[in-house]
Amino acid sequence: MNPQAEKINQVIANSSPAIFEMLSEKARSIYFPHSGILGQSAEAKGVKYNATIGIANGDDATPMRLETINTMIDLKPAEIFPYAPSFGNKNLREQWKEMIVTKNPSIAGKKFSTPVVTQALTHGLSLAGFMFLNEGEEIIIPKPFWGNYTLLFQEVLGAKVTSIPCFKNNESFDLEALQTCLDEREGKKVVLLLNFPNNPTGYTPLQTEVEAITKILHASAEKGTKLVCIIDDAYFGLVYEDGVARESIFADLADSHKNILAVKIDGATKEDYAWGLRVGFITYASKGVSDETYVALNDKTGGAIRGMISNCSALSQSIILKAFTGSEYQNQKKEKYGILKNRYDVLKSELEIHVEYKECFEALPYNSGYFMCLLPKDNIDAEKVRRCLLEKYETGIVASQGLIRIAFSATPAKDISQILDNVFNACKEVAAQ
């Protein structure tokens, strides 16, 4: 093992032995090469003659560039063309950390790492899998869940996806299923993924449910279970009902127990309607963790980024940071939220008005996010409904895990009534076959 990796491991093992036990074998071997090319380049920064930088500079010491590209972007060349650090733009990382506290007031005063920039959330989830899952180990995910989890964790990383029910009686979060799952793994390492608002269901637990989930996890940790809680906060902030948790469960778990490591995966993609810019973050928190351990975890994460993709897009990070610090950012974000909230309200109203829909399907619990799901009744096949909608109704939905997923995020409010009516009619046609 590289001495740099051994040094980082010692820091983590001395300060947080539970977290060291959670690390995968690959994570224990990874390190950020501070003493390599990057370190030597950093030491040379500011000298008169610097021949270390791995980009091409002009004679004026600014990045060499094609004007056809430069003229398209209203940013300084230094904000566009050079490589970003493997950890991400320092100012953006600090800004996002401040925003986590602003959006989750209960985390104020609690220690957590400075976020590391990822190439959006899928990359962040991949890094979390790299850090905490060995090949063959299981990751537990409440179902229904985003189909890409299976591809990512199981097919790419070689882990095993184990599902537990998300809902009890299709009414509320299934606390009993979570409790049973953890009881069966008492004293072991457990990797659990929680995604709220949920894709595909659009469900966020009530505040009382979040408190119950936190209590269950804490009790399990008290019994010696080492819990890695990966929190996919892709749709954070898009909550449309009273009583629903407004803060990320990351805030509750940040200082819950030394045997619980909360790993927050979030970003600007959905929250800030910037999907193609691919800016995400990974952040760590646990009870009693030293600053040195957070630096060590970030070093391993930065090392993994360096080894896989070198660094994330500097241009995207510059654009997002400029947006965050712009005077109109908050007003524009509220405006977009209002549009989504109106679509949600229209959809909810249509389902309440049209009681006949219950002949063919029922809505799974939903209160947030981009999506909601319909559960077909009487063994109506969701895939057959999807094909019928395409062929006869010029309507596209997603059929997955036996459910019909409707993305109201992408649907004008004026079209929602017709889409639901089309789904109802297609269900009737499939049922009659």
Residues 247 and 184 in one domain: yes
Q: How far is CA 192 from CA 74, 181, 195, 225, in A?
A: 42, 10, 10, 12
- DSSP-assigned letter for residue 151: I
- Answer yes or no: do 224 and 347 share one domain: no
Q: Are 152 and 210 in the same domain?
A: yes
Residue 212 binned pLDDT confidence (cut-offs 50, 70, 90): very high
pLDDT band at 46 (very low <50, low <70, confident <90, very high): confident
Domain that holds residue 182: 3-32+86-324
Identify any residues that bridge with 172 across adjacent strands, giving them in sequence order. 168
Backbone φ/ψ region at 394: left (φ over 0), alpha (ψ -120 to 50), beta: left
pLDDT in tens, 90-112: 999 999 999 999 999 999 999 99
- The CATH number for 422's domain is 3.90.1150.10
CATH of the domain at 252: 3.40.640.10
- Comparing 37 with 69, the larger pLDDT belongs to 69
344 & 375 share domain: yes
Does residue 213 lie in a domain region?
yes
Tell me: do 241 and 336 sit in the same domain: no
Residue 171 contacts residue 145 (beta carbons within 8 Å): no
CA distance 128 to 8: 18
Helices (runs of H) and strands (runs of E) counted in the chain: 17, 13
Band of residue 290 on the pLDDT scale cut at 50, 70, 90: very high
> How high is the pLDDT of residue 16?
96
Domain final position from 259, 290, 324: 324
Same domain, 312 and 333: no
CA 277 to chain CA centroid, Å, is: 15
If pLDDT is split at 50, 70 and 90, which confidence band does 40 have?
A: confident
Report yes or no on 274 lying in a domain: yes
Look at residue 273 and tell me if it is in a domain: yes
In a domain, 173, yes or no: yes
Quick one: what percent of the chain has pLDDT higher than 70?
100
With a cut of 90, say whether residue 15 has pLDDT above it: yes
Q: How far is CA 134 from CA 138, 319, 428, in A?
A: 9, 36, 46
Q: Please tell me the distance from the alpha carbon of residue 68 to that of residue 293, in angstroms, as a whole number.
A: 45
Q: How confident is the model at residue 41 (pLDDT cuts 50, 70, 90)?
A: confident
Mean pLDDT in residue range 12-34: 96
- pLDDT, tens digit (0-9, with 9 covering 90-100), for 326-335: 999 999 999 9
41 falls within a domain: no
* Claim to verify: residue 212 and residue 265 sit in the same structural domain: yes
What is the predicted pLDDT for the residue at 374? 98
Determine contact, residues 256/214, Cβ cutoff 8 Å: yes
- Is the full-model pTM beyond 0.75? yes
Could you tell me if 382 and 264 lie in one domain?
no
Q: Is residue 36 pLDDT above 80, yes or no?
A: no
Q: Is residue 196 part of a domain?
A: yes
- Domain boundary among the residues 265, 295, 324 is at 324
User: Where does the pLDDT of residue 50 fall: very low under 50, low under 70, confident under 90, or very high at 90 and above?
Assistant: confident
Residues 375 and 250 in one domain: no
Q: Are residues 230 and 273 in the same domain?
A: yes
**Rounded CA separation 230/140 (Å):** 10
Are 236 and 266 in contact by the 8 Å Cβ rule? The answer is yes
pLDDT exceeds 90 at position 162: yes
Supply the mean pLDDT for the chain.
97
Tokens of 138: 């299981």
Structure tokens given for 316: 């995207």
pLDDT at 403: 98
- The verdict on residue 60 lying in a domain is no
Last residue of one domain, picked from the residues 292, 324, 356: 324
Q: Give per-residue burial for 221-240: e unless 16+ CB within 10 Å, then b.
A: beeebbbbbbbbbbbbbbbb
* pLDDT tens digits along 397-407: 999 999 999 99
pLDDT at 400: 96
Q: How confident is the model at residue 38 (pLDDT cuts 50, 70, 90)?
A: confident
pLDDT of residue 48: 87
Respond yes or no on whether the N-terminal peptide bond of residue 82 is cis (omega within 30° of 0): no
List CB contacts of 69: < 8 A, sequence separation 6 or more: 80
The pLDDT tens digits of the residues spanning 353-408 come to: 999 999 999 999 999 999 999 999 999 999 999 999 999 999 999 999 999 999 99
Q: Are residues 278 and 378 in the same domain?
A: no
DSSP letter, residue 60: T
Are residues 259 and 363 part of one domain? no
- Tally of domains in the chain: 2
Is residue 181 in some structural domain?
yes
